[in-house]
Amino acid sequence: LDRSSTTPVVVDLWAPWCGPCKTLGPILEKVVGETDGQVVLAKVNVDENPQVSQAFRVQGIPAVYAVADGKVVDGFVGAQPEANVREFVGRLQPSEADQEIARLLAAGDEVSLRQVLESRPDHHDAIVALAELLAERREDGDVDEALALLGRIPETPETRRVGALARIGDGPADADGAGDDIVAKLDGLLDQVKADDDARQQYVDLLEVLGPDDPRTADYRRRLTRQLF
């Protein structure tokens, strides 16, 4: 299920005593193996993993399910000829357009990211990556464009972090170091956050840049809450 968030997973539910399973298993392994990692295979012995069988509500085996983004998107029960298996797996493979987008995202430069957005204007990963590039470069119009890009997609922890970087400007260097400069700024802003909206926004942005893994973040969030309420 975790792997399916990035790569389609074919789940083969089988048992050692199942004759059709022995026929289907090698076909699945061959066809999925030929995708070169675009699809992965998970084989589950239902005798050893009854809870998985129950979760899939299996009525008979072999039972094969396609899982993408944590959800079952396709499936079949019973042995199938290789042609049918190829068609089933083929539906899970990324299109040529998807493969090109993956290549551009891996390149990660501004030109490549803008190419992604030409065809997929709301592509989350491309938007976040390009907005971060603009937030760090900070040439004329970069900050406004970065914030406008982030406004296209729903808010997530990552969009909040990049938005904060865009607004406060000098965050990345501080965040990579000990964070002492950020902490000093937080201390200086604390008395202003209740009455000054801009100060409160800057305080919150600094916390985003400091990051949830920094042990000081939780303390300064508590201080903000006490100050406001």
- Catalytic residue check, 18: yes
Closest CA to 151 of 161, 165, 163: 163
- Catalytic entry in 10, 13, 18, 186: 18
Q: Which amino acid is at 179?
A: G
Residues 6+ apart with CB under 8 A from 221: 207
User: What tokens appear for 27 in the block?
Assistant: 């076909």
- Catalytic entry in 11, 21, 66, 193: 21
Compute the distance between CA of residue 108 and CA of residue 84 in angstroms, rounded to an integer. Answer: 37
- Catalytic residue check, 186: no
Catalytically active residues, by annotation: 18, 21
